[in-house]
Amino acid sequence: MHLFKPTILALAVISATAFTAPAFADGDGEIKYRKSVMKSIGGHMGAIVGILKSETGNKANLIVHGQGMAALSNIAGSVFPEGSDFGETEALPVIWEKPADFAKAVKMFQDAAKGMEMATQSGDMAAVGAALGKLGGACKNCHENFREKKK
């Protein structure tokens, strides 16, 4: 009971904030969140590669990573709101200058991630390998065109 009440209160505070916060209030928060989402995408990618490389890896978990990748690809476009182009970010202004081109890069990623999800569910490791190539190509395509090059 003592734990229950503060939780309700915390939820109320969170939802009140969500409803009153102006859309572009916090570019830094948006950037941090975007990086966390990208790290999650990178985490699933590393896990898939790890399972493929390892003879003893838990192959059954591939399905979870395929689902995670597909789910994250569906929110990837939403982590680049207007106003999140300044600050500690490698996201290039061209994302907001050429939204149609950026949308294509997101779509390419979503198609590749969906392909990975289906390949992991088929259990066919050759298909997973082929899907991995496409998926890596989608990351690379977007990073090359829309992310600042590492100095």
Footprint on this chain of ligand HEC (rule: CB under 6 A) = 31, 34-35, 38-39, 41-42, 45, 76, 89-91, 105-106, 109, 135, 138-139, 142-143, 146-147
Handedness of CA 63, 69, 70, 71 (dihedral sign): positive
Is the CB of 18 or the CB of 37 nearer to ligand HEC?
A: 37
What whole-number distance in Å separates Cα of residue 39 and Cα of residue 46? 10
Work out how close the CB of 136 gets to ligand HEC at its nearest, in angstroms, rounded to a whole number.
Answer: 7
Q: Tell me if 48 sits within 8 A of 116, measured CB to CB.
A: yes
Work out how close the CB of 82 gets to ligand HEC at its nearest, in angstroms, rounded to a whole number.
Answer: 14
Is the CB of 51 or the CB of 76 nearer to ligand HEC?
A: 76
Work out how close the CB of 5 gets to ligand HEC at its nearest, in angstroms, rounded to a whole number.
Answer: 37
Is the CB of 37 or the CB of 127 nearer to ligand HEC?
A: 37
What whole-number distance in Å separates Cα of residue 62 and Cα of residue 137? 19
Work out how close the CB of 54 gets to ligand HEC at its nearest, in angstroms, rounded to a whole number.
Answer: 19
Exposed / middle / buried, residue 121 (Cβ in 10 Å: 0-12, 13-18, 19+): middle
Is the CB of 6 or the CB of 120 nearer to ligand HEC?
A: 120
Amino acid at 21: A
Q: Tell me if 52 sits within 8 A of 101, measured CB to CB.
A: no
